[in-house]
Structure 1
Amino acid sequence: MSAARHVAVIGAGPAGLSAAHAALAAGARVTLVDSAEQPGGQYHRMLPAAYAAEHPERLHHDWPAFERRRRRVLAHPRCTWLPDSAVWMLEPPAPEPAGPPRVHLLCGGPADGSGRARRTLDADAVVLAVGAHDRVLPFPGWDLPGVFTAGAAQALAKGERVVVGDRVVVAGTGPFLLPVAASLLEAGSRVLEVLEAAGPATLARGWGRRPWELVPHTGKAGELAGYVALLARHRVRYRLGRTVVEARGEGRVEEVVTARLRPDWSVVPGSARTVPVDAVCVGHGFSPQLELPLAAGCVLRGEVAGGPPGAFVRVDDDQRTSVPGVFAAGEITGIAGAPAARAEGAVAGWAAAGGDPAARPLRALRRSRDAGRAFAERLARAHPVGAAWSGWLRAETVVCRCEGTDYGALCAAVTDRAGSAARVTKLTTRAGLGPCQGRVCGPTVAELTARLAGAPPDGEPHEGLPPAGPHRRPVAQPIRLGELAAPSAPTDERESSHE
């Protein structure tokens, strides 16, 4: 290992922070980049420094370990911390990809701010730990004010202490619904009920298969018990096999329609009931943020059985991707939770820094990482998204909220073979052309279009063009024309922001 080796870590959540910590321990210089003001990601989303919170640990699990790691990384003399910085492009080396790409940054402000400075970053290795975002399936009324993604509601509760409503229903599928409900309760909301779409039989098959494999995850049992106790204390109902299939209201959500679901997620006739609310939080798993891995040229692997449509970054035993000098860790390699992300990040950071591949701590990290991957497969089997969910949709149901594209327009666009091509559908319906550039609706539109047209989700390849997909874009993050026209300069490590 060499102190001269420079590792750039993109993302400062559990995976990225662990990668930076391990790379520093291996003797490398580290530049840690994140779009947030402080490290932690969604899992350890921190209150703004101006809040001067006396007990931030009340909102988090594993807080002492996170706080120690955060302080060690940010205070390390070989660490450059770049908060409020977005990676808008990765530029592969020319003429042949022989090393990691050049990282193009916008520094010094939030994504919707102005006056950000363009910077470039060249490193000996790049660790991508950019995480995932909520996957939300559309339903009638989901575009009403007061309908939140589960992640957004949790971010407001944990990061701002803002409650999304006084009477809230949390619905969708997956264990993430529990910490979301807990965050809302801690912030002061009244959670009426938590609706898990998976039924008892599906959950039993997913979690009960080879139960001895759950032994490495006994810590999660205590976390689950804590959530159960909190829900019981607040008298929050937890229902299986039921979800929100419609939101109603004049100007904002006022009530939701919930219904029982069959295993394929079709609605059981006669099971609908109406619940008055002023907010609803929905989440149907997560979609990995693949813009930067694809921009770097990383090869993807197929989806986990029963998991969300799409793919994850393919990595080897040291978290190396198919691109020389590029490593990946966390949710972009598989949705397995924070402990697995930390283990992956540590392995990636150590290898990226040129650490000893035979180091003893790596054995335990790899075991934890492998256990996390097995947990991810179990999670996908226990909480699959049923294929019949599209039966909730009506012709007027919005599927792209940015552009207001409805399901009827999508159906009309794929009635002929030419219109069913992914790029043609995007142009004719405008789905995915709005401010989010398909980050929310892209996977759903691709799935619906493929189902309607009877074609693969990525469509048929065209000569000279890569396969169409919601994550493939040369500009990974929004950038103003003025920022694009401004000159770029190498990153000055003296600009680093420490505590």
Structure 2
Amino acid sequence: MATERPHLAVIGAGPAGVAASLAAAAHGVRVTLIDSAAGAGGQFYRRPSEGLGARRPEALHHRWRTWRRLEDALAARVEAGTIRHLADHHVWCVVPAVPEAPPDTASPPARPGSVGFVVHALLGPLQEEPVTVRADAVLLATGGYEKVLPFPGWTLPGVVTAGGAQAMLKGGLVVPGQRAVVAGTGPLLLPVATGLAAAGVEVAALVESAEPKALLRRPVALAAQPGKVAEGVRYGAQLLRHQVKLLPRHTVVAAHGEERLDAVTVAALDTHGRVGPGTERRVPCDTLAVGHGMLAHIDLAESLGCRIDGLNVAVDEEQRTDVPGVWAAGETTGIGGAALSLAEGHIAGRSAAARLTGTRPDPRAWARAARSRRRAREFFAALDTVYAPPAHWTQQVTDDTVVCRCEEVTAGAVRNAVDELGAGDVRTVKLLTRAGMGWCQGRMCEPAVAGLAGCEQTPTRRLLARPVPLGVLARAGDPDDD
């Protein structure tokens, strides 16, 4: 029977992954923290590389002191050898480990809660060097990605995602243009617009399809998160200071330009989410940062067979999935911001440690984290009811608008597959049009295809979480070291 400490593989080094790693390591578990970025922090705490010489990286963030505490604690654990941080490692698959003992050998589990998994990753910017990590249990903290809906002109150079614009600013200290429009829906638009304005970009307008004042009709959720309310007030003050025009219940209906973006057309929305006739106006700009909320990264969870609730990984009160030995925390279980991710990561790390070591977590610390999780979930549930794409956004998508950029499939082709060929779900549309068969495997275009097809977006089980060279796949079954 093994005598070394149990081993937990944590995939994702954002707020949830770091919090989970620290909690597990503090309770007797050996942790390997695996992440595709060069440094920990995820998108929320993305920082410029040291070579850029940023003198005040904290100016691009809020809750910076919280992150510095997490960063210092992680560095101390790495130095002590209780956490191994594998940066620039791109996980493409997680599979149950094959027992090393012969089938006819009676061998009890090595430790309580031990199941055994092999994490397959690719190392480096070219993602060609295979790396494997063997662990007793796995914790998925894979975060989320942006939901972007198409409109005429959205493929023009100069049109970027809201998160992409923020990543350029946080990670590269560069701005995507000189005059920008920030559009779509969701709380992410506020830090993007204020961040660009503070960096010297003229933000012509913040175009929000929802009505933020509707949050006032949810006083219970607001009262439970006074910090978030104060945060929103600060963003509002910054918009006023930088003279950013806020256009609630408006949407971008088209982007214009020949070789690159030079203007967008925005229009007002009625109470049913339809564009009001005669409300269109043209706004000159060289950048459009657009986003319509977030979706959870669930590929690894799906490939492991974890139950999916809607489009999120389903977990219990301990952040356990229904697959033994697999936990999940953060945006992968539902979009909810950094504070919720920290609470979920803390709970998941403690739970994994307790299960692997056969101990019980401190009930007081557990209760505090559970209380923070509950309040954050209630607040973001309220946000979800307010911030939603316009109900009739598909009416603005012309037939010649490209929907699937990888395969260059247009909205007209999708509509034809539904109206003329009888497609009734995303999978059938994919088979008939190739929408979703490209490099991203439908991760970006699925919401648009589902909307145009008039069906619900459902989870798509993918064997691989990212493209993998054939040579790596051929060697995946070879014996290797941890």
TM-score, normalised on structure 1? 0.88
1:236 and 2:248 matched: no
Aligned Cα root-mean-square deviation (Å): 2.2
> In 1, Cα distance between the equivalents of 2:387 and 2:26?
38
> In 2, Cα distance between the equivalents of 1:175 and 1:195?
12
The amino acid that maps onto 2:438 is G
SS state at 2:392 partner: helix
> In 1, Cα distance between the equivalents of 2:114 and 2:277?
59
Match of 2:104 in 1: none
> In 1, Cα distance between the equivalents of 2:341 and 2:435?
32
Shift of residue 187, structure 1, vs aligned partner: 2.9
Match of 1:384 in 2: 388
Which of 81, 100, 103 is the equivalent residue of 2:119?
Answer: 103
Q: Could you give the per-residue CA deviations for residues 165-206 of structure 1, whole angstroms, max 9, x where no partner exists? A: 10000001111101111221233321111111113xxx444x
Decide whether the 8 Å contact of 1:19 with 1:346 is kept in 2: yes
Match of 2:473 in 1: 484
Which of 210, 218, 225 is the equivalent residue of 1:217?
Answer: 225
Shift of residue 74, structure 1, vs aligned partner: 3.0
Decide whether the 8 Å contact of 2:16 with 2:141 is kept in 1: yes
Match of 1:307 in 2: none
Q: Summarize the Cα distance change of 1:385–1:491 in structure 2 as closer, same or farther, 3 Å threshold.
A: farther
Decide whether the 8 Å contact of 1:170 with 1:195 is kept in 2: yes
Which of 401, 404, 412 is the equivalent residue of 2:405?
Answer: 401
Return 216-225 or 80-89, whichever deviates more.
Answer: 216-225
Return 483-492 or 6-15, whichever deviates more.
Answer: 483-492
The amino acid that maps onto 2:37 is A
Match of 1:86 in 2: 90
Decide whether the 8 Å contact of 2:450 with 2:456 is kept in 1: no
The amino acid that maps onto 2:17 is G
Q: Summarize the Cα distance change of 1:217–1:268 in structure 2 as closer, same or farther, 3 Å threshold.
A: same
> In 2, Cα distance between the equivalents of 1:250 and 1:323?
51
SS state at 2:206 partner: strand
Shift of residue 162, structure 1, vs aligned partner: 1.2
Shift of residue 484, structure 1, vs aligned partner: 2.8
Match of 1:33 in 2: 34
Return 377-386 or 9-18, whichever deviates more.
Answer: 377-386
1:277 and 2:285 matched: yes
Residues 41-440 of structure 1 correspond to what in structure 2 (within 5 A)?
Answer: 41-76=42-77, 77-93=81-97, 99=115, 101-107=117-123, 109-110=124-125, 113=126, 116-199=128-211, 203-205=212-214, 207-302=215-310, 311-354=311-354, 356-416=360-420, 419-440=423-444
The amino acid that maps onto 2:22 is H
> In 1, Cα distance between the equivalents of 2:319 and 2:280?
46
Decide whether the 8 Å contact of 2:30 with 2:83 is kept in 1: yes
Shift of residue 48, structure 1, vs aligned partner: 1.1
Shift of residue 457, structure 1, vs aligned partner: 4.2
> In 1, Cα distance between the equivalents of 2:116 and 2:146?
29
Return 410-419 or 282-291, whichever deviates more.
Answer: 410-419
SS state at 1:327 partner: strand
Decide whether the 8 Å contact of 1:101 with 1:296 is kept in 2: no
Q: Summarize the Cα distance change of 1:184–1:489 in structure 2 as closer, same or farther, 3 Å threshold.
A: farther
Decide whether the 8 Å contact of 2:146 with 2:295 is kept in 1: yes
Q: In structure 2, list runs of 5 or more residues that go unmatched.
A: 100-112
Match of 2:107 in 1: none
Shift of residue 221, structure 1, vs aligned partner: 2.4
Return 433-442 or 416-425, whichever deviates more.
Answer: 416-425
SS state at 1:414 partner: helix
> In 1, Cα distance between the equivalents of 2:45 and 2:368?
23
Decide whether the 8 Å contact of 1:265 with 1:386 is kept in 2: yes
Decide whether the 8 Å contact of 2:93 with 2:119 is kept in 1: yes
Return 262-271 or 180-189, whichever deviates more.
Answer: 180-189
Match of 1:465 in 2: none
> In 1, Cα distance between the equivalents of 2:263 and 2:481?
50
Shift of residue 93, structure 1, vs aligned partner: 4.7
SS state at 1:318 partner: coil
Decide whether the 8 Å contact of 2:218 with 2:382 is kept in 1: no
TM-score, normalised on structure 2? 0.91
Which of 424, 439, 442 is the equivalent residue of 2:446?
Answer: 442
Shift of residue 419, structure 1, vs aligned partner: 4.0
Q: Could you give the per-residue CA deviations for residues 206-258 of structure 1, whole angstroms, max 9, x where no partner exists? A: x2344133223111123222222222121111111112110010011111000
Shift of residue 367, structure 1, vs aligned partner: 0.3
Decide whether the 8 Å contact of 1:125 with 1:353 is kept in 2: no
The amino acid that maps onto 2:397 is L
The amino acid that maps onto 2:153 is G
Shift of residue 477, structure 1, vs aligned partner: 0.8
> In 2, Cα distance between the equivalents of 1:152 and 1:213?
29
Q: Could you give the per-residue CA deviations for residues 148-172 of structure 1, whole angstroms, max 9, x where no partner exists? A: 0101110001100111010000001
Shift of residue 35, structure 1, vs aligned partner: 0.4
Decide whether the 8 Å contact of 2:224 with 2:379 is kept in 1: no
> In 1, Cα distance between the equivalents of 2:462 and 2:481?
24
SS state at 2:275 partner: coil
> In 2, Cα distance between the equivalents of 1:62 and 1:420?
46
Shift of residue 473, structure 1, vs aligned partner: 0.8
Q: In structure 1, list runs of 5 or more residues that go unmatched.
A: 303-310, 459-468, 493-499
Decide whether the 8 Å contact of 2:221 with 2:382 is kept in 1: no
> In 1, Cα distance between the equivalents of 2:221 and 2:293?
22
> In 2, Cα distance between the equivalents of 1:80 and 1:180?
33
Q: Could you give the per-residue CA deviations for residues 470-494 of structure 1, whole angstroms, max 9, x where no partner exists? A: x4210111112233334666455xx
